[in-house]
Amino acid sequence: MVPPVITRFAPSPTGALHLGNVRTALFNWLYARRQGGRFLLRIEDTDRVRSSEESLAGLLGSLRWLGLDWDAGPGCEDDRGPYRQSARGALYEASWARLEAAGLAYPCYCRDDELEFARKAALAAGRPPRYPGTCAQLDAAGRAARLAEGRRPALRFRVPDGTVEYLDLVRGPQRFEGADLGDFVIRRADGDGAFLFTNAVDDAAMGVTHALRGEDHVANTPRQLLLIAALGAAPPAYGHLPLLVGAAGVPLSKRDRAGSVAALAADGILPDALLNLLGRLGHRYAHDGWLDRAGLIAGFDLGALGRAPAHVDPTQLRHWQKEAVAHADAGVLASWVRGVVPPGREAAFIAALRANIVLPEDAREWAPVVYGELPCATGELATLLAGAGPAFYAAALEGARAGDPYPALVARIRGATGKGGAALFKPLRGALTGRLDGPELAQLLAVMPPATMVSRLEAAARLATPAP
Ligand code: GLU
Ligand code: ZN
């Protein structure tokens, strides 16, 4: 029997949720959902200085906004929890004790300056800068002597000789020499667990079967595999995703506003636009058009993960946002224009203008064009409106007062004036919207209150009437 798939997203709450993290969360979520498995959310908050409750709240909020729901995690604990590493100290203590008792880990009393010196010396001699093993064979007396000097020990994992091999879900077969790794720290001198230790111990304890994560963790993987093996547990299958890069080819950074989910949400980007974009960065869907959630899940395939650098392209984001608007619930878009169109008109306004709106700011731009007060026409526009002549506006006003639908209105003006083409449509649009570009006039007029049409046509008619 194949064990159920368990994936996880393991963010550190040290800043706003970033597109790179979201892509990682998304892929793990998609795979769990595709396989009918479980998706865990584990908060890696062992770095007490850089972690904050504020970042955590923002992170949870962004995940909820994206609809990436977790089966266990903060606010949804189960017997594999707690899901914050800061609350899992007892498990780490027990694992350190086991490793040390088995001789698989040992205290290291080296100070930072000594380690740095050894590192530089190794580099200068053309050797890999790994830990030289200074404390690997200390006996009880040697340890006591160093403690007496006031040194506080870190705990190092004793890397066995031999090779570490694994099959990366993205990068294929990988092979590392134990001798190149060097004994590494699993508990820092201040008592905190090292990232690669707590991360590996928790994956093992939580039964994680698949860990998709950023390429920046490749070097941790052989060490984590050794650790998990030393603890007698089964490791997840790891897959390392290519990092996301921005337009200029530089990796997206946490400080990049364009990469912050909260900032994009504040701009009005829809969650499904982001998911369609990110689902295709480092992964290829067989279908290249719009996918709803069910489609994103059904089409997700580990075999379609790729290694090429994944570019976050603003043009692509805009493309998916347009698609998302086209597919969005009317209620979502209506909320964009609440307060900027007359109450009760939101749904009709959105229905008329959906094809012309990409962001809430577009909707807010068009609301006054339909419902507001137009400024007096000046310059070129005034000249154009005046040039249409009094008969033009007489016919248009007759149609507006009669409640003509758009085609009837156009036919009425054509019948009365003989005008067609630009000579008809330009002044009509200019008179009714105050501008010469924009969404189809038929759509705008479908939502424009008749009284507004009448007063705008009257204003244009005054321009066309010669002064007495
Ligand atoms: N806390 C790590 C990070 O945010 C987790 C890495 C992993 O997914 O294993 O990069
Ligand atoms: Zn040492």
Q: How far is ligand 2, taken at its centre, from the CA of residue 124, in Å?
A: 20
Percent of the chain with pLDDT over 70: 98
The pLDDT, as a whole number, for residue 293 is 98
Domain-located, residue 153: yes
200 CB near ligand 1 (under 6 Å): no
For tokens 């009425």, name the residue. Answer: 412
pLDDT at 249: 72
Cβ 73 under 6 angstroms from ligand 1 = no
Q: Looking at residue 110, which CATH number applies to its domain?
A: 3.90.800.10
Q: Decide if pLDDT at 244 tops 70.
A: yes
pLDDT of residue 86: 96
Q: Domain for residue 323, yes or no?
A: yes
Task: Using alpha carbons, select from 45, 59, 3, 435 the residue that is nearest to residue 209.
Answer: 3
Indicate whether residue 239 lines ligand 1 (CB < 6 A): no
**Is the distance from the beta carbon of residue 119 to the nearest atom of ligand 1 less than 6 Å?**
no
Amino acid in the structure at residue 379: G
Q: How confident is the model at residue 255 (pLDDT cuts 50, 70, 90)?
A: low
Residue 392 contacts residue 432 (beta carbons within 8 Å): no
d(CA 188, CA 157): 12
Question: What domain range is 214 assigned to?
Answer: 6-72+196-244
Number of structural domains found in the chain: 4
pLDDT digits (tens, 9 = 90+) for 341-364: 999 999 999 998 999 899 999 999
Question: What's 201's domain CATH number?
Answer: 3.40.50.620
339 and 455, same domain (yes or no): yes
CA separation for the pair 437, 426 (Å, rounded)? 9
Q: Which residues, 6 or more positions from 369, have their beta carbon under 8 angstroms from its beta carbon?
A: 433, 434, 435, 438, 444
User: Ligand 1 centroid to 238 CA: how many Å?
Assistant: 12
Average pLDDT over residues 197-225: 97
Dist. CA 419 → ligand 1 center (Å):
67
Alpha carbon of 412 to ligand 1 centroid (Å): 67
pLDDT at 3 over 90: no
Please tell me whether residues 347 and 459 are part of one structural domain. Answer: yes
Q: Is the CB of 217 under 6 A from ligand 1?
A: yes
Decide which of 329, 353, 372 is a domain's last residue.
Answer: 329
| Separation of alpha carbons 197 and 44, rounded Å | 11
**For residue 85, is it within any domain?**
no
pLDDT in tens, 95-153: 999 999 999 999 999 999 999 999 999 999 998 889 999 999 999 999 999 999 999 99
